[in-house]
Amino acid sequence: MEFTLSRRRLLAACAVSATAGLAGCVDPDVAMFVDRVSTDREIAEQATVRLSQESEHRSLVANVTDGDTNTTVEAPSGTASNHPPFQPDRPVVYDGAVYDFEWESTGRTESHTEYRLLLTAYDDGRETDIAFEDLPEIDQDRIGRFREFLDWAESEPEDDEQRSQLEFQYRYTTAEREASVLVPDPEYEVIDIDGRPVGVTVRSTTVDREVYRYNATERAPTLAAFGQDLQEAHQFVLTGLSAAERDFFESVVDEGSYYQGSLSNDQDDAFEGVADVFVDQPALFVEYTEGEWLVRYDNTDYWVRIDFVRMEAYADRLQVVDSL
């Protein structure tokens, strides 16, 4: 899976904080994030998945939440054949309501053709046939990541083949094939990508993809209603802290985050005291070494994420609520 929520936030926060010299941020033992949640809706927003208009899963969610109990979909292109295409780790928001999603394998597979595009960057100044910007939108979308790859490759030590080649595998709809100039057979052999000649070769392959069935159950009619449910069922009051622990938690509230090693040893000790309180409470979500809680402190509500990256003793104590 991609980075967890806190890991993405960790990387972003570290990037912003790099010039400030936050010790322990780049490779912390623990990362903690605290967000003030002032309304029931804000609580629910922390505990749900919301799809953008461009999300590839939007049509699936629309069909399932509309009551289509026979909605099936194949494992996505470019992944293991037994990889469900949509695996939300929390309830999903669609059309204002909140839904619990379930999925299961149908036990059958479907075969179709996918295309493997091998891109090779050259440094011999050869002539190009077309500029990346002049490719159809579908082709720009499918090979666009190669531009990022080239930027990365140029920043790394030379390693000819590994630094110059990348392969993508995709399934194309009939309309996408008709719009593409790269599949099924490339109309151009060399593409100009940011001033570099890039050769493209394409071959087709037949793949078997497992088919999954999805179902959705409405959890709450609105985000606010779901947030209120969470507050009533799972919020705990953060009390019993020492003066040092209170000072520590309030400093994290002010800063929004904490990385062990970024503050003094006294504050590290205070963190452990606060962490003891959290891991003694069931978290709303637990994934690997990360837990998420809804707490009330000093008459204010907070959503707290703690990722015990290398603090195994605490990670092992994480427990999740019996039912969200």
Query: Tens digits of per-residue pLDDT, 257-272?
Result: 998 754 445 677 899 9
Assigned domain for 148 exists: yes
Alpha-carbon dihedral of residues 245, 246, 249, 253, nearest 10 degrees? -170
Domain boundary residue among 216, 243, 262? 216
pLDDT of residue 17: 43
Assigned domain for 324 exists: no
- In this structure, the answer to whether residues 212 and 140 fall within a common structural domain is yes
Q: Which of 231, 180, 201, 236 is nearest to 38 (CA)?
A: 231
Residue 79, pLDDT above cutoff 80: no
Domain boundary residue among 169, 194, 216? 216
- In this structure, the answer to whether residues 83 and 208 fall within a common structural domain is yes
Residue 288, pLDDT above cutoff 80: yes
Assigned domain for 142 exists: yes
Domain boundary residue among 174, 192, 216? 216
Task: For residue 310, give the amino acid letter.
Answer: R
* Range picked from 42-46, 69-73, 149-153, 154-158 for highest mean pLDDT: 42-46
- In this structure, the answer to whether residues 176 and 235 fall within a common structural domain is no
- In this structure, the answer to whether residues 197 and 244 fall within a common structural domain is no
Residues 168-207 have pLDDT tens digits of 999 898 999 999 999 999 999 999 999 999 999 999 999 8
Give the span between the Cα atoms of 211 and 75, in whole angstroms. Answer: 6
Assigned domain for 11 exists: yes
pLDDT of residue 55: 81
- In this structure, the answer to whether residues 83 and 35 fall within a common structural domain is no
* Residue ranges making up the domain that contains 120: 61-89+97-216
- In this structure, the answer to whether residues 296 and 163 fall within a common structural domain is no
Residues 52-78 have pLDDT tens digits of 887 878 888 999 998 766 666 766 655
Domain count, the chain: 2
Residue 238, pLDDT above cutoff 80: yes
- In this structure, the answer to whether residues 272 and 295 fall within a common structural domain is yes
Over the range 195-220, which residues count as b (16 or more CB within 10 Å of their CB) and which as e? ebbbbbeeeeeebebbebbbbbeebb
User: Looking at the whole model, is its pTM more than 0.75?
Assistant: no
What Å distances lie between residue 240 and 243, 244, 274, CA to CA? 10, 11, 10
